[in-house]
Amino acid sequence: MDRIRIVGGNELHGVIPISGAKNAALPLMIASLLTDDTLTLENVPHLADVEQLIRILGNHGADISVNGRRERQGESYARTIHFTSRNIVDTTAPYELVSKMRASFWVIGPLLAREGKARVSLPGGCAIGTRPVDLFIEGLTALGANIEIDGGYVNATAPAGGLIGGRYVFPKVSVGATHVLMMAATLANGTTVLGNAAREPEVVDLAKCLNAMGAKIAGQGTSTITIEGVRSLSGARHRVLPDRIETGTYAMAVAMTGGDVILEDTDAALLDTALEAIRRAGAEISQTNSGIRIVRNGAGIKPVDIVTDPFPGFPTDLQAQFMGLMTKSSGVSHITETIFENRFMHVQELARLGAKISLSGQTAKIEGVSRLKGAPVMATDLRASVSLVIAGLAAEGETMVSRVYHLDRGFERLEEKLTRCGAHVERVSD
């Protein structure tokens, strides 16, 4: 099993290319099930979750081909993938596939809308809270679906004439459920209105792609999305937006180590709140023609309090990384997690490096220390794992991160990108 070895103490200088967003690519790939034409997606990251979803879509009958690689310094950092779901051969998404990645449950929306039925296993994924499927079921029921749960599977059927446009107000903001209901509603009869919908850039990106396929969606990026159902969707060509979580992660890494790095092919507007928190911590951040420049030279890391919230608030997917940054601040900071109830599993591992963190309910109190010391640590989920990398970059001596398959789910060539900027990071295979 692979591990990541880090020897801390080096500043970061150079250019880091930002990959396409995993959280955008996955729903875009699933949207290919809505049409029998070809959907071509550019800037798709090469990640374990993407490869797993390719297998799942293939199980439903999608024909998938990869070409048009974009080369940079001899390495490929993006792919163009063509998805053609001319014939849906199976409307069942089995447990052995869905249990490995929660987002694969989202196929229920397109399958139900296009085929009138779907049998999808209850999902798995990171162990960072229960994340129930209630909102998906309630929303699809509002579109006329009949849904039963039996033997660990969600069995859904549409009325004889297909799904029916309706109104659904999310009791709490859910990015995944917004994706699914928006996709399902594109082929429903009539108009659907989604209230208290997620406003994340990835939702806007999906709506942009669906509209290019012939959907009629308005209001994306606001809390009310209106979808006028159409008879069918066509193919399209769409470029996946930059990964704002990867952008924020590397920005925090530079703020942690010091240095001067250009984050290439990304946009500050995707994560204004997170970048503002990094500025308050002492980094200088500016938009350039090619991306975002992050600089921290000399000044220490200042303590900053944050609360995670749905977009445009501070992203929960950057909470662990920001905690890693705060471990070396010059005072006391507080991080309150409002999205997931079990997303502080990285605390004990950061403590192994010398961090001083105490928990009270959903709030972590971080007392900054002057020194972190390398140690063996274990990744517990995707975002927690990269918080250990950030801390390890500034720790004295060697940090060995195990269970890095979590990292491979969401960060494309992380060790290569950091090494090119002067970090001592390498993958070690046992």
388 is in an annotated binding site: no
Tell me phi and psi for residue 27, to 5 degrees: -65, -30
- Rounded CA separation 56/4 (Å): 29
120, 126, 347, 375: the catalytic one is 126
The tokens 């993407």 sit on which residue? 50
Q: What is the CA radius of gyration of the chain?
A: 22
User: Does the annotation flag 339 for ligand binding?
Assistant: yes
Residue among 228, 226, 178, 234 at smallest CA distance from 206: 178
Strand pairing category for 363-367 and 376-378: unpaired
Annotated catalytic, 209?
no
Residue with tokens 């290919």: 32
Tell which residue, 225, 235, 291, has the closest CA to residue 264.
Answer: 291
Tell me: is residue 427 an annotated ligand-binding position.
no
Contact criterion met (CB below 8 Å) for 107 and 60: yes
Distances (CA, A) of 270 to 17, 217, 220, 249, 384: 16, 21, 15, 13, 21
Q: Is 132 annotated as a binding residue?
A: yes
Is 296 annotated as a binding-site member?
Answer: no
133 labelled ligand-binding: yes
Contact between residue 285 and residue 294 where contact means Cβ atoms under 8 Å apart? yes
Is there a binding annotation on residue 23? Answer: yes
Residue with tokens 């950057």: 318
Q: How far is Cα 339 from Cα 385, in angstroms, rounded to an integer?
A: 19
102 in a labelled binding site: yes
120 is in an annotated binding site: no
Smallest CA-to-CA distance from 260 within 6, 3, 11 is with 11
Residue 18: left if φ>0, alpha if ψ -120 to 50, beta else—which one? Answer: beta
Burial class (CB in 10 A: 0-12, 13-18, 19+), 294: buried
- 134 annotated to bind ligand: yes
Both tokens of residue 173? 């903001």
Binding site annotation covers 175? yes
| Known binding residues for phosphoenolpyruvate | 22-23
| Known binding residues | 22-23, 102, 131-135, 172-175, 317, 339
| Known binding residues for UDP-N-acetyl-alpha-D-glucosamine | 102, 131-135, 172-175, 317, 339
Could you give the residue numbers annotated as active site?
126
